[in-house]
Amino acid sequence: MLQSLWRIACVRIPRFPIAAVWGATAGEQLLFSLGTPAKVASEREHWDDIPIVLTDAPGKRLQAVSAAAGRAGVRAGMRPAEARALCAHVHLLKWSDAAIGAAITQASAGLVSASPQVTPVPGAPGLWWVGASGFDAVGGEHELAHALLRIAKRWHPRSRVAIAGSCVVARAATWAGASFQASSSDRALVHVVPREQDAKYLAPAPLTLVPMDGELRASLEALGLRTAGAFATLNADDVERRWGNVGLRAWRLANAEDARRPVLARVEAQPAVEVELTIPSATMEPVLFLVRAALDRLVADMIAHGRAIAAVSITLTLDDARGALVNAPAHTVTREARAAKPLARVQPLFERCRALLDSWTLDAPVSAVRVAIVAVAPLSGEQGDLLDKSWRDVGAAEAAFERLRAELGTGTIVRAEAQDTHRPEKAGVWADLHEDSRAGKRTDDDWKQSLPQPYPLPTDNPTVRLHVAEPPPPAPAARRALDPPELVEVICDGDIPCALTWRGQRILITRAIGPERLFGDWWDSGYRRDYWRCESAAGESVVFLDRADDTWKMQAWSD
């Protein structure tokens, strides 16, 4: 009975990621973005009428396609080559989480003007939950639905809005009577499910409209269950016994029992500093001066709010005479500088921004500069002790890294990274310490643990015994790998190596351990090897017999 008190609206904007990436790529406002005059919009081609596809990386499968690309036969999941074969003039764009996130924030800010409770659906760009309770005094649910539709249509003219008592039913209702033909009426784009009718309304809906695991959906279809109502008629105990908690959660959704609720949205303005140059500059020197001053203000403001800066965006307004055109937006170019770890220090952030600007080629003079904070993190509470010689300033090390990158270029600060392979020469690579933030970024605790620890100080308390650290053991011999492995002559006693000749030096083997047989990578070049670890007076070496051509090769040695 409590569920009937809630009313939830679902706003669905078709192909929203394409709208966000296309608008960011074109460098201008979208056709139906906020504030675009209707007269100007009607004279321009809508982005959904242009064949556009999104892919997460070159050569990978398509993630989203526009309506025009779909009419040409292009479908999500295809390869870019297949899309170009079906539509030669297709626009291939890269999926951009930053552009999509900014567009979601902009659309959420617009929806907040109709209802204070707005929540973007995680993992589903273009879908929002909106609170629809308590609007009886201001026109009711239909008035709210049409207000939300007017806002959503600024992004796409075929956006849809539905209101129900649960999120799962509201989302399913946005697909009710869906039509891709143009219509002058908004009646087909708005649907309101009557109160207490959620389960009845959802019963004939296909299982694809009920969120559940793909394997569970395949099992239900194999049993002949095609609709939400057919699944809802099953006994809850039988569902839990066969499919566990995953099946029980999906069964409850099929019965319109959905505990999700939209929350009060808090749309925070992006902290930014924007400055116009008195005279457009064709060099970066004035820009660097303005960026440094902007970072001083932004860092001080973030520290006051207990935040550290994780990413900064720099937007340059170029004076290339585009602004002289009627209703033409200024030509802006935006680049993002992301630190290896969230910082609240100006110097390392400025060094990163300077490295970015040094590699930036200007096509026209710069007339304005905008520095904005894209991502923040909680400010670390680490305090330094001036009397503790073991304490080090982590920010100073990061600033030194940024100076090296600025002077020597990217790829100069690297670290060893293990690879998921059994072939020794490919088991490790050098990765950029800055770019791989998930595996390469070190936390403050990692830095502190790597610093030398002082010996304990003497004490006058007789009950406290002084423990003096023992000297560290001698370092083991360093093993040096060869890439590629080098040919070596091996003399065997039966199948066991007893002597080898490498680089003109004959080495007698005192002990050979093996063989360790490795094989794999059949999809690539493939390999079949017998490895031996050989001990001698000169040290330890690792050799292998390549079964592909019956040759011995040196893989590594220790000195």
Of the candidate ranges 78-87, 365-374, 437-446, the one whose mean pLDDT is the lowest:
437-446
Amino acid at 305: H
Q: What's the pLDDT at 127?
A: 92
Domain 272-382+391-404, second-level architecture? 2-Layer Sandwich (3.30)
**How far is residue 508's CA from residue 7's CA, in Å, rounded to a whole number?**
83
Region 493-500: mean pLDDT is 90
- Whether residue 329 is predicted with pLDDT greater than 80 in this model: the reply is no
CA atoms of 73 and 87, how far apart (whole Å): 8
Full-model pTM: 0.49
> Which pLDDT score, from 0 to 100, does residue 33 have?
41
| Inter-residue contact 4 to 194 (CB < 8 Å) | no
Q: What's the pLDDT score for residue 269?
A: 62
Cα–Cα distance measured from residue 80 to residue 258, given in angstroms and rounded to the nearest whole number: 39
pLDDT digits (tens, 9 = 90+) for 166-221: 999 999 998 875 432 334 445 568 888 998 888 999 999 888 889 888 888 899 98
Q: CA triplet 504, 505, 510: central angle to 5 degrees?
A: 150
pLDDT at position 304 over 60: yes
Secondary structure class of 315 (helix, strand, coil): strand
User: Regarding beta strands 489-493 and 496-502, do their DSSP bridges make them parallel or antiparallel, or are they unpaired?
Assistant: antiparallel
**CA pair distance 550, 546, nearest whole angstrom:** 5
pLDDT value, residue 411: 67
Query: Of the candidates 261, 198, 194, 238, which has an alpha carbon nearest to the alpha carbon of residue 6?
Result: 261
Provide mean pLDDT across the span 429-448: 50
**pLDDT band at 2; cut points 50, 70, 90:** very low
Per-domain residue ranges for the chain? 3-199, 272-382+391-404, 405-450, 479-558
Which burial class, exposed, middle or buried, applies to 321 when counting CB atoms under 10 A from its CB (0-12, 13-18, 19+)? exposed
Cβ proximity of 198 and 258 under 8 Å: no
pLDDT of residue 45: 72
Instruction: Say what the pLDDT of residue 426 is.
Output: 77
Place of tokens 């304490």: 391
Number of neighbouring beta carbons within 10 Å of residue 446:
10
Which among 234, 168, 247 has a CA at the least distance from the CA of 201?
168
Sign of CA dihedral 244, 245, 246, 247: positive
Tens of pLDDT, residues 78-95 = 888 888 899 888 888 888
**Which residue type does 531 have?**
Y
Give the H or E element holding residue 168.
helix 167-173
Angstrom CA distances, 381 to 307, 327, 345, 401, stand at 11, 49, 14, 22
CA–CA distance, 542 with 558 (Å, rounded to integer)? 9
For residue 236, pLDDT beyond 50? yes
Helix (H, G, I), strand (E, B) or coil at 395: helix
Tell me the C-alpha distance between 56 and 325, whole Å: 34
- The amino acid occupying position 472 is P
Phi (first) and psi of residue 20, to 5 degrees:
-70, -50
| End-to-end Cα spacing for the chain | 77
**Closest among 531, 535, 559 to 425, alpha carbons compared:** 531
Q: Is the peptide bond before 515 cis (omega within 30 degrees of 0)?
A: yes
Around 402, how many Cα atoms within 13 Å sit in the side-chain half-sphere? 25
Mean pLDDT, residues 21-28: 70
Q: Residue 16 pLDDT > 80, yes or no?
A: yes
Residue 282, pLDDT above cutoff 60: yes
Residue 465 pLDDT more than 70?
no
86-90 long-range contacts, CB within 8 A, separation 24+: 87/51, 89/51, 90/51, 90/52, 90/53
Q: State the pLDDT confidence band at 10, using cuts at 50, 70 and 90.
A: very high
Q: What average pLDDT score do residues 448-463 get?
A: 39
Which residue in 345, 253, 330 sits closest to 296, CA to CA? 345
d(Cα 465, Cα 467) in Å, to the nearest integer? 6
Residue 280 has pLDDT above 70, yes or no: yes
Task: Give the whole-angstrom CA distance, residue 465 versus residue 371.
Answer: 57
State how far the Cα of 63 lies from the Cα of 55, in Å rounded to an integer.
5
pLDDT, greater one: 26 or 319: 319
Q: Model confidence over 125-149: pLDDT tens digits?
A: 899 999 888 887 777 888 888 899 9
